[in-house]
Copies of this chain bind each other. A is one copy, B any other.
Amino acid sequence: MLVRIDPDSPAPLHAQISAAVRRGIAVGEIAPGERLPGARDLAAALGVNLHTVLRGYQELRAEGLVELRRGRGAQVRPDAAPAVAALRQAVHALVDEARRLGLSATEVTEMVREAMT
C-alpha cells in the first residue's frame, strides 16, 4: 500500500493520509480485511509524526472504513465495500466544490434528495 504526501499542499497532512487510504480502498489497492501499516511505521516512512498518522486513521474509523484496536493495528473492515469508499470520495469532491460555491449544507442535501427521488 502506497501513501504519498505533499508537505506543500494546503491540505492538512492527516487529511492527506486518510484520503490516500480511502482512495486505496476505492480502487481495490487495499482489500477489505487487510491490515494497514502500523502508525509508527507509516509515520517513519512518511517523515511525519505518529499522532498525525493516528489522526488520519481515526478519521477513517469515524467513517466506518477501518477498525482500530491496540496490539492488532488498523484493519480495513470486512464490510467496507470499495464502491462505497469510492462513493465517499466522490461525495468529498462534491462537497468541496459546493462549499467553494458558497452553497449551504441544506441546499446541497436538498439537491441530492431531489435528484434521488
CA distance A98 to B112 in the complex (A): 11
**A112 with B109: in contact, given A84-B101, A90-B97, A102-B20 (CB under 8 Å)?**
yes
Give per-residue flags for A96-117: 1 if the beta carbon is below 8 A from chain B beta carbons, else 0.
0111111101001101110111
**Copies of the chain in the assembly:** 2
**A116 with B102: in contact, given A87-B111, A109-B109 (CB under 8 Å)?**
no
User: Is A39 interfacial (CB-CB < 8 Å)?
Assistant: no
Give per-residue flags for A8-36: 1 if the beta carbon is below 8 A from chain B beta carbons, else 0.
00010000100111111010000000000
Name 25 interchain pairs, CB-CB below 8 A, sorted by A: A11-B99, A16-B102, A19-B99, A19-B101, A22-B101, A22-B102, A23-B101, A84-B101, A87-B97, A87-B98, A87-B101, A87-B111, A88-B111, A90-B93, A90-B94, A91-B115, A94-B112, A95-B112, A95-B115, A99-B116, A105-B117, A108-B112, A108-B116, A109-B112, A109-B113
